[in-house]
């Protein structure tokens, strides 16, 4: 039996006072004992003072609200030096914890629900934090996206179709002048945005302020030439002590420039602090997320990190696209996209799948996203086009036009040479598996 001190029925709880966390774990002991210990470790590990008659568990204790044993007598799926040589039970549990224990503070919430204690429970061989349900009373303390899907569309004056953004290539090594010229070619070809790669930020050979200045000059020229609004995602990822300086450099362009920020290297709480300023849209990038999420039985789910990124205020979230290039399943991408749109008090965040995207993948992206509210993140698909980056950008716009007009890419390519060349060339030089539903 689950220890009665660590058990409750969902309907008995005031859910506005609790977060509900879902865990997937392998237990080498009785799962009911394991989940009781899991509650103890993440909250009231020692529930009374010596020689004092008290019990802090009724008010501050975590409570099991559900436990499901998915497999019995299974071989461990996560094996390391201390994995006992015995079978495991694979379990899912939902645990309610009073959020008064940590407040509406990202570092404290992570420490309790995802932090140290849950990974050191005797008898739990491996554990993954699958999801956290936050009540309205908790979310009201977070501004969330201040532009979101609608705000980005309004700034770019694009109402219906998916948006297109390309990494400027080569991703590192270009001078600010060379970078700006490459950006101009993509923007005049039809990109809505160009962006820094996560590998290029404020470097000695390409200072962010100089690169930003030159790209914005070219961006305004591209707007005049095309009659379309454009944006540049400037990578402000840096030490927290320098973050505000780079943010303010982007803010000088009065919302015409956006920013790129790598969440996990900087830290969710630091990102929340800078995003709360809300002067322009900021897009999340995903370095340092894979180490937390790649093993399904250890760490945490990508869906949860996506949810937390939306909560701290990102207007768009770059995430790994489906297929072998990014080792991401269709199901995982779908969950990440759903986290951007989940109904709550926060504005919806624009999902931005990226990684190996070429024009031939666009029909499948429409099917996967089940909406036109997504941002295509590409790189080589534009800048490795054999006719040049302007033609590469055109090929993406043509692929979208084909879908919007109800035609196949092959039909549309017969009268659009940039798309035709892209389909032929990338098929011949395919380096990874195309997405298959």
435 found inside a domain: no
277-297 mean pLDDT: 97
387 found inside a domain: yes
Quote the DSSP letter at residue 328: B
**Residue 109's pLDDT is what?**
96
In the structure, what pLDDT confidence band is assigned to residue 436 with cuts at 50, 70 and 90? very low
Residue 290 belongs to domain with CATH number: 3.20.20.110
366 found inside a domain: yes
384 found inside a domain: yes
List, in order, residues 6 or more apart from 184 with CB less than 8 Å away: 218, 219, 221, 222
304 and 389 both lie in a single domain: yes
381 found inside a domain: yes
437 found inside a domain: no
**Residue 307's pLDDT is what?**
98
pLDDT of 64 strictly over 50: yes
Stated pTM of the model: 0.95
84 and 213 both lie in a single domain: no
Picking from 88, 106, 139, the residue at the C-terminal end of a domain is 139
Question: What is the chain's length?
Answer: 437
379 and 257 both lie in a single domain: yes
64 and 208 both lie in a single domain: no
Q: Helix or strand or coil: residue 382?
A: helix
**Residue 433's pLDDT is what?**
54
pLDDT of 12 strictly over 90: yes
Task: Look over the chain and give the mean of its residue pLDDT values, rounded to a whole number.
Answer: 95
Q: Helix or strand or coil: residue 7?
A: strand
436 found inside a domain: no
Picking from 93, 110, 139, the residue at the C-terminal end of a domain is 139
103 found inside a domain: yes
106-111 mean pLDDT: 96
62-69 mean pLDDT: 97
pLDDT of 332 strictly over 50: yes
| Count of Cβ atoms closer than 10 Å to residue 71 Cβ | 13
162 and 98 both lie in a single domain: no
**Residue 67's pLDDT is what?**
98
pLDDT of 217 strictly over 80: yes
pLDDT of 434 strictly over 80: no
Q: What is the 3-state secondary structure (H, E, C) of 175-230?
A: CHHHHHHHHHHHHHHCCCEEECCCCCCCCCCCCHHHHHHHHHHHHHHHHHHHCCCC
| Percentage with pLDDT > 90 across the chain | 87
Output the DSSP codes for 38-94.
HHHHHS-SS-S-TT-----HHHH--EEEEEEEEEEEEPPSS--TT--SS-EEEEEEE
In the structure, what pLDDT confidence band is assigned to residue 44 with cuts at 50, 70 and 90? confident
184-212 mean pLDDT: 98
39 and 68 both lie in a single domain: yes
117 and 87 both lie in a single domain: yes
284 and 365 both lie in a single domain: yes
pLDDT of 432 strictly over 80: no
108-127 mean pLDDT: 93
Number of domains in the chain: 2
pLDDT of 229 strictly over 60: yes
132 and 68 both lie in a single domain: yes
Chain-centroid distance, C-alpha 108: 21
302-326 mean pLDDT: 95
393-408 mean pLDDT: 97
pLDDT of 142 strictly over 50: yes
82 and 156 both lie in a single domain: no
Quote the DSSP letter at residue 117: G
The parent domain of residue 311 ranges over 148-428
253 and 295 both lie in a single domain: yes
pLDDT of 437 strictly over 50: no
369-394 mean pLDDT: 96
Question: Rounded distance, CA 165 to CA 376, Å?
Answer: 6
Q: Is there a contact between 318 and 354 (Cβ–Cβ < 8 Å)?
A: yes
**Residue 431's pLDDT is what?**
60
Residue 111 belongs to domain with CATH number: 3.30.70.150
66 and 193 both lie in a single domain: no
Q: Is there a contact between 201 and 238 (Cβ–Cβ < 8 Å)?
A: yes
pLDDT of 114 strictly over 60: yes
Picking from 93, 121, 139, the residue at the C-terminal end of a domain is 139
């Amino acid at each position: 039996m689950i220890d009665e001190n660590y058990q409750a029925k969902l309907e008995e709880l005031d859910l506005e006072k609790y977060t509900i966390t879902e865990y997937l774990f392998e237990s080498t002991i009785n799962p009911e004992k394991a989940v009781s210990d899991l509650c103890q470790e993440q909250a009231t590990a020692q529930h009374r003072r010596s020689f004092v008659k008290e019990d802090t568990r009724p008010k501050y204790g975590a409570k099991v609200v559900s436990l499901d044993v998915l497999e019995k007598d299974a071989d461990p799926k996560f094996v390391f030096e201390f994995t006992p040589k015995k079978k495991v039970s694979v379990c899912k549990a939902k645990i309610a914890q009073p959020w008064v224990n940590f407040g509406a503070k990202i570092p404290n919430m992570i420490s309790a629900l995802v932090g140290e204690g849950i990974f050191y429970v005797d008898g739990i061989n491996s554990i993954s934090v699958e999801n956290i349900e936050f009540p309205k009373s908790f979310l009201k303390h977070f501004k969330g996206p201040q532009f979101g899907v609608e705000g980005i569309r309004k700034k770019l004056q694009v109402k219906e179709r998916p948006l297109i953004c390309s990494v400027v290539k080569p991703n590192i090594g270009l001078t600010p002048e060379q970078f700006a010229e490459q950006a101009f070619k993509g923007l005049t070809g039809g990109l809505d945005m160009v962006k820094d790669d996560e590998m290029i930020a404020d470097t000695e050979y390409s200072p962010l302020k100089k690169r930003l200045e030159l790209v914005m000059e070219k961006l305004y020229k591209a707007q005049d030439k095309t009659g379309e609004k454009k944006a540049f995602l400037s990578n402000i990822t840096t030490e927290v002590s320098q973050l505000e300086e780079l943010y303010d450099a982007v803010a000088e362009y009065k919302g015409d420039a956006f920013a790129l920020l790598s969440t996990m290297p900087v830290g969710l709480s630091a990102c929340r602090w800078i995003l709360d300023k809300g002067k322009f849209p900021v897009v999340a990038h995903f370095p340092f997320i894979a180490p937390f999420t790649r093993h399904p039985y250890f760490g945490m789910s990508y869906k949860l990190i996506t949810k937390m990124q939306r909560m701290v205020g990102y207007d768009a979230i770059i995430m790994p696209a489906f297929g072998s290039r990014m080792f991401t399943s269709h199901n995982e991408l779908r969950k990440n996209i759903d986290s951007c749109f989940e109904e709550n008090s926060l504005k919806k965040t624009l999902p931005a799948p990226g990684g190996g995207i070429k024009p031939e993948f666009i029909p499948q992206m429409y099917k996967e996203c089940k909406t036109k509210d997504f941002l295509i993140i590409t790189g080589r698909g534009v800048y490795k086009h054999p006719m040049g980056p302007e033609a590469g950008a055109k090929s993406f716009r043509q692929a979208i036009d084909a879908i919007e007009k109800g035609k196949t890419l092959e039909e549309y390519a017969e009268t659009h040479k940039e798309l035709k060349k892209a389909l032929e060339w990338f098929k011949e030089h395919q380096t990874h598996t195309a997405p298959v539903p």
